[in-house]
Chain A
Amino acid sequence: MAEYRAPLRDSQFVLHDVLDAQSHYAALERCERVSREDLDSILDAAAQFSEKELFPCNRAGDEEGCTFDRGAVTTPTGFKAAYAVYRDAGWAGMTGDPQFGGQGLPASIRLLVGEAMSTANMAWTMYPDLSSSAMYALSTHGTREQKQRFLTRLLSGEFTGTMCLTEPQAGSDVGLLTTKATPNADGTYSITGTKIFISAGEHDLVPNILHLVLARLPDAPAGTRGITLFIVPKLHITEDGSLGARNAVTCTGIEEKMGIHGNATCVLNFDGAVGYRVGEEHQGMRCMFTMMNSARLGVGMQGLGIMEVSYQTSLAYAQERLQMRSLTGPKNASGPADPIIVHPDVRRMLLTQKALLEGGRALIYYTALQADISLYRSGDAQIAAEERLSLLTPIVKAFLTETGFECANHSLQIFGGHGFIRETGIEQYVRDARITLLYEGTTQIQALDLLARKVLMTQGKALLALIGEMKALATEASAGLPALASRLDAIADEWAALTMGIGARAAQDADALGAAAVDFLMYSGYAVLTHFWVRMALIAKSSADAETDAFLGGKIATAQFYVDRILPRAEAHRRSAEASAASLMGIDVAAFAHN
C-alpha cells in the first residue's frame, strides 16, 4: 500500500499564505505565543509521529480489531506502543492549562496536530480525542480540586477520558436518558445505568479511564433540563494520587462495527459507581455543549483526514496502474497501456477529491483559528469570532464528513475491483469514514442546528456577516479572476436569498425547517468553499512563482474545476431546499412500509 505523507506544503500554504497565522497567534492573549517556526515544527513533529507510528498500525487496527475478554479490552498490535510514544512526547497536554501540567498552547494547535494523526489512523486517534473532550469539560466546569486530581492525569496522558451520553433508548434525543445519580453522604454520587456506544470506554492503553457521564439526580426535571454531568473513574484514585480499587463500572461488551475496528465501542454498566459532580446540578447539557462543539470540529477533521489519505492512495494508484490507452493517443507508448490518470473520468474523481479536500482544509483551519479568537481575545473580535465559529461548526462537521465519505468512495472506485479487496486497504477508509456522518450528532442534527439555531434564531446575523466578506472578496478578485469572482458574488447573494425564503416559509409551516435543513447545510458547504477557493486562487495567482510553481498552478486549476464541476451541485440543493415540505409530509406513515 502507498505510504502516507502529511501534506505539509498545503498546510503551510493555508496557514501562512491564506490565513496569516503568524499575525493571528501574535494577537492572542492568555495563551502561549506561537511563532511561525514553532507552528511549522509542531506540525512537522505531528507528521513524523503520524507517518512513523500511527500509519503502520492502521491496517492491523482494522484486521485485528479490539478483543473483549471478561470485561477487559485489548487493542490491536501497535496501538499501545504508539500511545506510549504519544504520551512520552507530551502531545496530550499541549493545549492544557499550565497550572495543571499543560503547555498552554492555543486550542487550534490541538486540532491542527490532530489532522495528521487522524489521517494516519482514525481509530487510534479517537482515544486521545476522547481525552481532549474530557479535558475540555473538566477545565471549563471542574473545581480546582477536580482539576488537580483528574485533569492533571489527562494532560500528562497517564489516563484517558470518555463521554457517556447514549443509552439504548436515548440517542439523538439525549433527554430520554435514564441513568440515575443518587447523592451519597460524603458528597459523592452513586451512578447506576447502562450506556452504549462509548468510544474508548475500556482499553489497555492506560491504567485508568475517566468517564464523563450524563445522569439524572432524584427529582430531576424531565428532558434535557434534568441532566447532570459526573466524572466516574474506572479505578478509584486515593488521596496520594495512586490507583485504588476498581469502581463499580464494567464493560460488558464491545460492538461489532462496520469500521473503526481499532477503537473499542463499549457497553458500560454503572452499578452504583462512585461519581463526582461536574458543574451545577441539572446543567449537564450545558457542560456537554461546550465540549461538543470542539468534538464536532474534531469529527470534521476526521472527514478531512479520510479525504487526504484516500486521495493520496488513489492518486498513487492512478499514476501507476496501466490500463487502456488515452482516447487522444498513447501517453506511455513503450508500456502495455497508459496509466489510468490519463482517462478524463479518473481525473474527474481525483479532482473532485482534491477540490473538496483542499477547500475543506482551508475551511477547517479557518474555523480552528476562529475558536482561538473566541477563547483568547476580547471585545468585538471575540464576539464576532464566537458567532462565526458557532455558524461554521455544524458545516464543518457535516459537510466535511459527507464529502469525506464521498471522496473515500471515489478513491475506492479508482481502484476498480481491487478497491473492494481488503488487502488494498482502500475499503477500510470507506468503512471508517461512514461513522463520521453518524456520531457527535448525525448530519441531520447538524443541519437542524445550523438552520434553526445558528441562522434563523439569530436572524442570520453571523451568516450575513460572512456573506458580506464573500462579496468583498468577490470585488477584490474581480480584476484578476473575473470568472471566479462573479460566481462567488452570485452564490453569496443567492445564499442570503435562500435563507430568507426558508425563514419566511418556516414561519408558516413547522415542517419547513426540517424539510430544508440538510439541503441547506450542503448548499452552505458548497457556498463557503467557493469563498476559500477564490481566496486561494487569488493568492496563488498574485504570487511571484505562480507560473513556475506546480503547487500554485494546481491551486488555480483546481479552483476552476471547483466552480465548473462541483459548485453546480449547490443549484440542485437550493431547488430542493426551496420545495414545499408537503411532498415529504403528505405520505402516510403506514404507506412507507407497504409496497
Chain B
Amino acid sequence: MAEYQPPLRDMEFVLFDLLKADETWRSIPQLADTTRDLVRAVLEEGGKVAANELATCNQAGDREGARLADGEVRTATGFKAAFRALADGGWLGVSGRSDVGGQGLPKMLTVALEEMFYGTNTGLYLCGTLTVGAATCISNHGTPDQQALYLPMLYAGRWTGAMALTEAHAGTDLGIMRSRAEPAADGSYRITGTKIFITYGDHDLAENCIHLVLAKLPDAPEGTRGISLFIVPKFMVNADGSLGERNAMSVGSLEHKMGVKGSPTCVMNYEGARGFLVGEPNQGLAAMFTMMNYERLSVGIQGLGTAEAAYQVAARYAAERTQGRGPSGPVNANAAADPIVVHPDVRRMLLTARAYNEGGRAFAALVGRELDLAKYSEDEAQRERAERMVGLLTPVAKACLSDRGFECCVLAQQVFGGHGYIAEWGMEQFVRDVRIAQIYEGTNGVQALDLIGRKVVRDGGATAFEFIDSLRAQGLGDEAFASSVAEALDRLQQVTASIIERADADPALPGAVSTDYLELFALVTYAWLFSHMAAIAPDDEFGGAKKLTAQFFFSRLLPRQTALATSIAAPSSAVMALAADCF
C-alpha cells in the first residue's frame, strides 16, 4: 500500500490561517506558550509516528486481528512496538494536565494528531483514545489520590483505559443495565456483571488496564439516575504505585467484527471485582457525559482520518492506473491508455472525498477551538458560550464526519474498480474499519436526535441561531461564494425555525427529520468554511487547489441542501403513518 502523507500543510492552514488558533491561545494563560513553531514541530513529529509506526502494522491488524489465548488478549504483529512509539513519545498525554504528567496542549492540536493516528491505524489507535478518555474522566471526577495514582501512568501509556458501559440488552438505553456494585468494608466496591463491546478490555500493549465501569448500587433509583461509575483495574495498584494481585475480572470472548479487527472487542465478566467509586453515587452517567463531547468528536475524526488516508491512496492510483482514453482525446498518447484521473467521474469521486475531508478538517478544528475555550477561557461569558457551541456542534461533528468518512472511503474504493474489492489493496479495509464510527459513541441517529431535541428545540433554537448569527457576523468569505453562503445560512435559519414551530403541533416531527437536519446543518457550515478558506487561500499550488476544491463543493456538493430542506418540509406522517403491521 502506498505511503501515508500527513496533511500538514492543510492542518496548518486551517489552524492558523483560517481559525487564527494562535490568537485564541495567546488569550488564554494556560495555552499561551503554544506557538506556531511548536505546533508545527509537534504535527511533524506526530505525522512521522503515524506514517512510520502506525501505518506499517495497520494491515497486519486486519489480517491477524486480536486473539484470545488462555484468557489473555494478544494483539497483532507490530502493535506492541507501535503502541510503545505512541506512549513513549508522549502522544497520549498531549492534552493531559501538566501538573500530573501531561503536556497541557490545546484540543485543537490533538484534533489534528488524532486524524493522523486514526488514519494510519484505527485498530491500534483506539487503545490510545480509550486511554485519553479514561484519563479525562478521572481528571474531571476522580479524587486527588485517584488522579495522582492513575493520570501519570495513563498519560505515559504504561497503563491504558477502557470504558465498560454497554450490556447485551442495554446499548443506546443505558438506564436498563444490570451490573451491580456492592459496598465492601474497606470502602471499595465489589462489581459483578457482564459488559459487552469493551474496546481494549484486555491486551498485551501495556502493564495494566484501567476499566471505568458503570454499575448500580444497591437500592439505586431506576433508570439513568441510578448508575454509578467505578475504576476497576485489571491489576490492583498498591499505594506506592506498584502492581498487586489480579482483579476478579476476565475476558469472556472477543467479537468477530466487520472491521477494526486489530482492536479487541471484549465481553468482560466482572466477578466481584474490586472497584473504586468515581464521583458521587448515582452520578455515573453525568461523569461519563462530561467526556462524551471529547469522545464523540474523536469518533468523528476517525471518520475523517480514515477518509483522508483512503483518498490519498485513491488519488495516487488514479494518477497511475491507465484505462481508457480521456473524453477529449488521448492525454498519454505514447501509452496504451490514459491515467484514469482524466475521466471526469473519477475526478468527481476524488474531489468529493477531498472536499469533504478538507471541510471536515476545518469543522473538527472549529469544534476543537470551542472545546479549548470551554475548558480554559478565563472569561466566564466566553466559556459559557463555548460550552453551548460544543454542545451544539459535537453531535454534528460526530455524525457528519463519520457519515461522510464512510461515503468517501466507499468512493475511494470505487476509484479502484474491481481491485478495490480485493483485500490486498487495502481499500476495502478502510471501508470496513470506518463503518463502526457511524455506530459507536451513540449511533448517528442518536446524535441527530441529540442535536435536534436537546440542542435545538429545547432552547427554542437560541443556541442554533446564536451560531448562525456568529457565522454571519464573521463575514461570508470569498466574494465568489458569498451570496451562496448567505442563502445557505438563511435556509438553515428558516428550516430551524420551521421545525421548532411545527414541532408544537407535530411532536414526532423533530425525530422524523433529525438525520436530514443534521446533514443540512453540517453542509451549510462547510459552505461557510469553504468560502472563508477560498478567500484566504495563498497564490500557490496549495491555494489554487483549495480554491478549486471550494468551487467543486459549491457547485457539486452544496446542492444537497435543497434535497434535505425539501425532505424536512414533509410532515412527520410521511414517516409515522405506516402502521407497524404494514412494514
Contact = CB atoms under 8 A, between A and B. Distances in A.
Nearest to B508: A344
Interface string A339-354: 0010111111111001
Interface in A540-563: 550-551, 553-554, 557-558, 560-561
Contacts of A421: 255-258
A575 B523 CA distance: 15
B171 A323 contact: yes
A561 B575 contact: yes
Nearest to A335: B176
A420 B582 contact: no
A103 interface: no
Interface in B245-289: 255-259
Interface string B569-583: 011111111111111
B319 A589 contact: yes
Interface string A409-430: 1001100111111110001001
Nearest to A552: B582
Interface stretch (A168-176, A383-391, A495-503): A168-176
B515 interface: yes
Nearest to B197: A417
B541 A591 contact: yes
Contacts of B458: none
Interface string B360-387: 0000000000000000000000000000
A417 B172 CA distance: 9
A328 interface: yes
Contacts of A259: 421
A52 interface: no
Given A413-B444, A584-B552, A344 B414 contact: no
A290 to B, nearest CB: 22
Contacts of A145: none
Nearest to A325: B173
A285 to B, nearest CB: 15
Interface stretch (B7-15, B485-493, B530-538): B7-15
Interface of A is mostly: helix
Interface stretch (B208-216, B225-233, B424-432, B465-473): B424-432
B256 A422 contact: yes
Interface residues of B, number: 108
A11 interface: no
A442 B542 contact: no
Contact of B423 (A257, A343, A551): A257
B507 A327 contact: yes
Contacts of A593: 312, 315-316, 319
A265 B513 CA distance: 42
Interface in B1-23: 5-10
A510 B327 CA distance: 6
A518 B348 contact: yes
Contact of A431 (B343, B419, B432, B514): B432
B446 to A, nearest CB: 9
A419 B512 CA distance: 22
Contacts of B581: 550
Interface stretch (A27-35, A433-441, A472-480): A433-441
A315 B583 CA distance: 8
B10 A595 contact: yes
Interface stretch (B100-108, B389-397, B558-566): B558-566
B114 to A, nearest CB: 17
B572 A344 contact: yes
B417 A171 contact: yes
B435 A256 contact: no
Contacts of A173: 323-324, 337
B575 A348 contact: yes
A439 B414 CA distance: 11
B582 A594 contact: no
B552 A583 contact: yes
Given A345-B449, A417-B171, A513-B327, 9 more contacts: A328-B507, A348-B512, A351-B578, A413-B443, A421-B255, A422-B256, A557-B577, A571-B563, A589-B319
25 contacts: A173-B337, A315-B583, A319-B580, A328-B507, A328-B508, A344-B508, A347-B512, A347-B576, A409-B435, A416-B172, A420-B257, A431-B432, A434-B431, A514-B327, A554-B579, A554-B582, A561-B575, A568-B562, A571-B566, A583-B555, A588-B541, A589-B339, A591-B545, A593-B316, A595-B312
Interface of A: 166, 169-173, 176, 197, 255-259, 315, 319, 322-324, 327-328, 336-337, 341, 343-351, 354, 405, 409, 412-413, 416-423, 427, 430-431, 434-435, 437-439, 442-444, 447-448, 510-511, 513-515, 517-518, 550-551, 553-554, 557-558, 560-561, 564-565, 568-572, 574-576, 579-595
